[in-house]
Amino acid sequence: MKVEMAVGLKIPDTTARTALQTMRKLGHKVEALKRYDYYMFDVDGSKKGFKQAVSDVDVLVNANKNFVRFLDEKRLRKGETGIIVQDDAEPEALLHTLRERLGLDMIKHLEKGTLWVMDSKGVKIKNLIYELLANPHYQQVKILRE
């Protein structure tokens, strides 16, 4: 079964703030922008048990500076667009660490990326993605709508 997890910062995200200011300077009318580390796990066993176990893994979530949001049925709020940017390379080292060193052997597959969430009213998403958020030479993009 698939489990999607977004890890955000509790403190102000200077990367997201800089990206938002740059978007506005480029003429895009973006109201808000949030950035998360994105993980998609394909797992065997209990979804609830896995969520609890992976939330406590400090390799992914530092309890002092991060919060976790699981993306179940309702990924986005009304008016939001999500953009998942992933490198072409698989996160093999992270998968090995989670399985072998931390005992999460129920993980069959792992995808990692960055999830950008923005207010998308009147924004030309495709132009914005390749101007600022992703490099088409080595990254893949998935667009999520509410």
Does 122 score more than 80 pLDDT? no
What is the share, in percent, of the chain residues with pLDDT greater than 90?
Answer: 68
Q: How many CB atoms lie within 10 A of CB 6?
A: 21
Is the pLDDT higher at 120 or at 16? 16
Which range, of 19-23, 33-37, 112-116, 122-126, averages the lowest pLDDT? 122-126
Whole-number mean pLDDT of the chain? 91
Give the separation between CA 9 and CA 115, rounded to whole angstroms.
Answer: 13
Q: How far is CA 91 from CA 41, 82, 98, 113, in A?
A: 12, 21, 11, 9
pLDDT given at position 60: 94
List domains and CATH numbers for the chain: 2-145 (3.30.1280.10)
Residues 6+ away with beta carbon under 8 Å from 72:
4
Question: Could you tell me which of 23, 10, 13, 11 has the C-alpha nearest to residue 114?
Answer: 13
pLDDT by residue (tens digit) across 53-107?
999 898 999 999 999 999 876 678 888 889 999 998 889 999 999 999 999 999 9
**β 33-43/80-87 pair status:** unpaired
The pTM assigned to this predicted structure is: 0.91
